[in-house]
Amino acid sequence: MAEPKLLGGVEAGGTKFLCGVANEDGVVLDQVRIPTTTPAATLSAASAFFAKAQARHGALAALSIGSFGPLSLRATAPDYGSITSTPKVGWSQIDLLGHFAQTLDVPMALDTDVNCAAVGELLFGSGRGLDTFCYVTVGTGIGVGLLVGGVPHGGANHPEAGHIRLPRALGDQAFDGICPFHGDCLEGLASGPAIRARWGMPAEELPPEHPAWGVIAEYIAGLCASLTYIVRPDRIIIGGGVMQPIDMHARVRTALHKQLGGYDSSIAELDMDAYVAAPTAGDSAGLTGALAIAHRLVTRQWPMHWAIGAQQNSVSTLSKVS
Amino acid sequence: MAEPKLLGGVEAGGTKFLCGVANEDGVVLDQVRIPTTTPAATLSAASAFFAKAQARHGALAALSIGSFGPLSLRATAPDYGSITSTPKVGWSQIDLLGHFAQTLDVPMALDTDVNCAAVGELLFGSGRGLDTFCYVTVGTGIGVGLLVGGVPHGGANHPEAGHIRLPRALGDQAFDGICPFHGDCLEGLASGPAIRARWGMPAEELPPEHPAWGVIAEYIAGLCASLTYIVRPDRIIIGGGVMQPIDMHARVRTALHKQLGGYDSSIAELDMDAYVAAPTAGDSAGLTGALAIAHRLVTRQWPMHWAIGAQQNSVSTLSKVS
């Protein structure tokens, strides 16, 4: 009988690193939530977790990391495997893959946090059965993951669709935007920090009747329109803190339908309720996706046999793990 | 010895249909240029060409069509294989695949004209050796073909990236745009007909020092920026009548570099001369691409062995064929 394969996954975020190990059936055997502090402290805590997990559960067969970025993902780049130039203090030019390669001699993969979350949605959430879809998160930043032909899309490095520019919404001409690179790109206008800068309070404190929500929905719909025309996805899944108000998906659908302008029957007749959807793979979809990518590194296939229950369980117990 | 395989290709354009047959080595044995008039006249002339070609060269093994659109390309759609709602009078709801299936019982493929041209560039032009790139044409309309992972990208139907919306260029606020669906989407602002409407003369009559060119370059660069952030291509190939002025690619590169705003080293350090390129596969890249897709229908592989010479020859003799 072949030795059981232990899969390792990391969801590397700006506030926490989730690390987990799972068996071949996707059952999470061990996981830890590490606060993101300095790279040295955070990454050595992550390594310590995997060392302990291997002592308990046997050798890892593969490790997959989904990380905040920007990342260097082109295999021929000199800084391949690193976070490149992030606004997060201390985390620029941090060699993620290099760090884990110091202690682990296994196949490793690195992709964006949003691509990993998209894989989680593909297997256990709103992306099930779809060939091509977008996963958008609107929060501290605006990130977009793309599944094309059933696999995460990277291209020459990785998409950064939060930085596209759009026409300014009516009544939002005066605000300059806060993106350090582009000023009023989408992220500079509609991310959480942009909302706070524009309206003087964080998104979660804006009352439901505040006109800000119409403006924000207009911008997010603008992203969806560009994704529609450029990628032609089967669905756009949108999550993140800014999408929390109960009617935000409805607002985005209405604005998107209007922006698409009845162009071409296949677009004009899109069922907006199905086309613009909330994520449903749970809060740790990124870790789930990373573990699924580790499975694919070992077997060359997505783990279509993983039980949703095993993953859901991992989600619900997550907050109890220290 | 296996019977030689005859490949058929159609480049279906708004002004002409190019039809051709080639052998397995990509040598064009026969071709014809049919003016695009009514669907009945144009399509029956195309069918007559393939009937005659088969009488001379043997049975077709596959037929591939690259067409203007919008097209219905989702295999499960009731109108699959048709031109859907085109502004070109008389050509809406025309069943292209259905027409050819009346007389030909062979595997058939239909894709956009720009995706077929992109395949032509992949094999014989500026896309050689690339995994992911965009092919943009700026003329009567603005079309974008995408090669992702070495194959044409369709998604849920096919991209229509000419219809994205962008911030208005400085000094171009007053013009409403001419897109019947969106007004001032990119195509409504920077296509040939939009240029004529905006500045009162066709692009080919605008003098080189006219300020229009700066505005047009700004919009095309805006498309390139959105393609960069969403698709992360290895290259963007831009052709079409509006790109004819000798310095248009240079203008677009300069505007794009500025718009990208130094974001992330992998984007900030792009070699713009290599990144934004002119097409080099010749005027019939669309027919070449269609024939290559026919080859792939038969063999499941791109014809990497096709000699550039054979194609170049077909390009140069094209104008002599009646």
> Is the Cβ pair A70, B157 closer than 8 Å?
no
Q: Are B84 and A262 in contact (CB under 8 A)?
A: no
Which chain B residues are within 8 Å of A79, Cβ to Cβ?
A: 265
pLDDT of A266 reads 86
Region A280-302: what's the mean pLDDT? 96
* Cβ neighbour number for residue B55 with a 10 Å cutoff: 9
d(CA A17, CA A50): 13
Region A163-186: what's the mean pLDDT? 94
d(CA B179, CA B160): 13
Which of A146, A176, A266 has the highest number of chain B CBs within 10 A, making it the mutation to test binding with B? Answer: A266
Which chain B residues are within 8 Å of A229, Cβ to Cβ?
A: 159-164
Fold category of B6-117+282-320 in CATH: Nucleotidyltransferase; domain 5 (3.30.420)
DSSP per-residue codes, B190-214: HSHHHHHHHHSS-GGGS-TT-THHH
pLDDT of B123 reads 95
Decide if pLDDT at A162 tops 70: yes
d(CA B76, CA A42): 49
Percent of chain B clearing pLDDT 90 (strictly above) = 87
Looking at CA atoms only, how far is residue A76 from chain B in angstroms? 12
pLDDT bucket at B170, cuts 50 / 70 / 90: confident
pLDDT in tens, B245-303: 889 999 999 999 999 998 888 898 899 999 999 999 998 999 999 999 999 999 999 99
Alpha helices per DSSP H over B26-76? 39-57
> Is the Cβ pair B144, A181 closer than 8 Å?
no
Strand partners, A133: A147, A235
Which chain A residues are within 8 Å of B266, Cβ to Cβ?
A: 70, 72, 74, 77, 84, 156-157
Looking at CA atoms only, how far is residue A165 from chain B in angstroms? 6
d(CA B186, CA B163): 6
pLDDT in tens, A215-270: 999 999 999 999 999 999 999 999 999 999 889 999 999 999 999 998 888 898 89
Residue range A126-277, CATH number: 3.30.420.40
Q: Residue A164: which of B158, B168, B229 has the nearest Cβ?
A: B229
Region A116-127: what's the mean pLDDT? 97
Average pLDDT, chain B: 93
Strand A94-95 versus strand A82-83 pairing type: antiparallel
Q: Residue A155: which of B167, B226, B232 has the nearest Cβ?
A: B232
Task: Please give the structure tokens belonging to residue B141.
Answer: 């309309």
Region B101-106: what's the mean pLDDT? 96
pLDDT of B319 reads 33
**ipTM of this complex:** 0.95
Q: Residue A84: which of B184, B231, B266 has the nearest Cβ?
A: B266
Decide if pLDDT at A18 tops 50: yes
Strand A108-112 versus strand A94-95 pairing type: unpaired
Task: Please give the structure tokens belonging to residue B74.
Answer: 């989702």
> Is the Cβ pair B226, A165 closer than 8 Å?
yes
Amino acid identity, residue B29? L
d(CA B28, CA B49): 14
d(CA B41, CA B27): 28
pLDDT of B3 reads 72
pLDDT bucket at A19, cuts 50 / 70 / 90: very high
Strand order in the sheet with B60-67: B28-35, B16-22, B6-12, B60-67, B108-112
Looking at CA atoms only, how far is residue A312 from chain B in angstroms? 29
pLDDT of A264 reads 84
Helix (H, G, I), strand (E, B) or coil at B255: helix
pLDDT bucket at A309, cuts 50 / 70 / 90: low
d(CA B30, CA B15): 20
Decide if pLDDT at A178 tops 50: yes
Which chain B residues are within 8 Å of A181, Cβ to Cβ?
A: 261-263
Helix (H, G, I), strand (E, B) or coil at B140: coil
* Cβ neighbour number for residue B113 with a 10 Å cutoff: 26
Average pLDDT, chain A: 93
pLDDT bucket at B307, cuts 50 / 70 / 90: confident
pLDDT in tens, B6-53: 999 999 999 999 999 999 999 999 999 999 999 999 999 999 999 999
Region B141-164: what's the mean pLDDT? 97
Percent of chain A clearing pLDDT 90 (strictly above) = 87
> Is the Cβ pair B165, A222 closer than 8 Å?
yes
Task: Please give the structure tokens belonging to residue A302.
Answer: 């997505």
Which chain B residues are within 8 Å of A148, Cβ to Cβ?
A: 148-149, 153, 155
Region B175-184: what's the mean pLDDT? 95
Which chain A residues are within 8 Å of B179, Cβ to Cβ?
A: 261
Decide if pLDDT at A171 tops 90: no
pLDDT of B245 reads 87
State which residue of chain A sits closest to B93, comparing Cα positions.
A265
Which chain B residues are within 8 Å of A271, Cβ to Cβ?
A: none
Strand order in the sheet with A108-112: A28-35, A16-22, A6-12, A60-67, A108-112
Q: Residue B159: which of A160, A230, A259 has the nearest Cβ?
A: A230
CA dihedral B168, B169, B173, B178 (to 10 degrees): -70
Q: Residue A166: which of B165, B227, B234 has the nearest Cβ?
A: B165
A191 phi/psi in degrees, rounded to 5:
-75, 170
The angle, 0 to 180 degrees and rounded to 10, between the axes of the packed helices A212-231 and A192-199 is: 150
Strand B142-148 versus strand B133-138 pairing type: antiparallel
Q: Are B60 and B4 in contact (CB under 8 A)?
A: no
Q: Where are the domains of chain B?
A: 6-117+282-320, 126-277
Q: Are B134 and B127 in contact (CB under 8 A)?
A: no
Which of A264, A267, A269 has the highest number of chain B CBs within 10 A, making it the mutation to test binding with B? Answer: A264
Cis, bond preceding B70 (omega within 30 deg of 0): yes
Strand partners, B83: B71, B94
Amino acid identity, residue B108? M
Q: Are A110 and A81 in contact (CB under 8 A)?
A: yes
Cis, bond preceding A245 (omega within 30 deg of 0): no
Q: How many CA atoms lie within 13 A of A222 on its CB side?
A: 26
Percent of chain B clearing pLDDT 70 (strictly above) = 95
Label residue B36 exposed, middle or buried (CB < 10 Å: 0-12, 13-18, 19+): middle
Q: Are B306 and B7 in contact (CB under 8 A)?
A: no
**Which long-range CB contacts under 8 A does A46-50 form with residues at least 24 apart?**
A46/A10, A46/A17, A46/A19, A46/A100, A47/A99, A47/A100, A47/A102, A47/A103, A47/A104, A49/A19, A50/A8, A50/A19, A50/A21, A50/A100, A50/A103, A50/A104
User: Among positive and negative, which fits the CA dihedral A119, A125, A130, A135?
Assistant: negative
pLDDT of B238 reads 98
pLDDT bucket at A313, cuts 50 / 70 / 90: very low
Label residue B310 exposed, middle or buried (CB < 10 Å: 0-12, 13-18, 19+): middle
The yes-or-no answer to whether A6-117+282-320 and A126-277 have a common fold is yes
Decide if pLDDT at A295 tops 70: yes
Strand B276-277 versus strand B235-239 pairing type: parallel
d(CA B151, CA A153): 13
Q: What is the 3-state secondary structure (H, E, C) of chain A?
A: CCCCCEEEEEEECCCEEEEEEECCCCCEEEEEEEECCCHHHHHHHHHHHHHHHHHHHCCEEEEEEEECCCECCCCCCCCCCEECCCCCCCCCCEEHHHHHHCCCCCCEEEEEHHHHHHHHHHHHCCCCCCCCEEEEEECCCEEEEEEECCEECCCCCCCCHHHCCCCCCCCCCCCCCCECCCECCHHHHHCHHHHHHHHCCCHHHCCCCCCHHHHHHHHHHHHHHHHHHHHCCCEEEEECHHHCCCCHHHHHHHHHHHHHCCCCHHHHCCCHHHHEECCCCCCCHHHHHHHHHHHHHHHCCCCCCCCHHHHHHHHHHHHHCC
pLDDT of B315 reads 39
Nearest 5°: CA angle at B203, between B197 and B206? Answer: 100
Nearest 5°: CA angle at B249, between B246 and B254? Answer: 125
Decide if pLDDT at B81 tops 80: yes
Region B93-119: what's the mean pLDDT? 97
pTM, rounded to two decimals = 0.95
pLDDT in tens, B50-78: 999 999 999 999 999 999 999 999 999 99
pLDDT of B266 reads 87
Which chain B residues are within 8 Å of A158, Cβ to Cβ?
A: 232
pLDDT of B312 reads 46
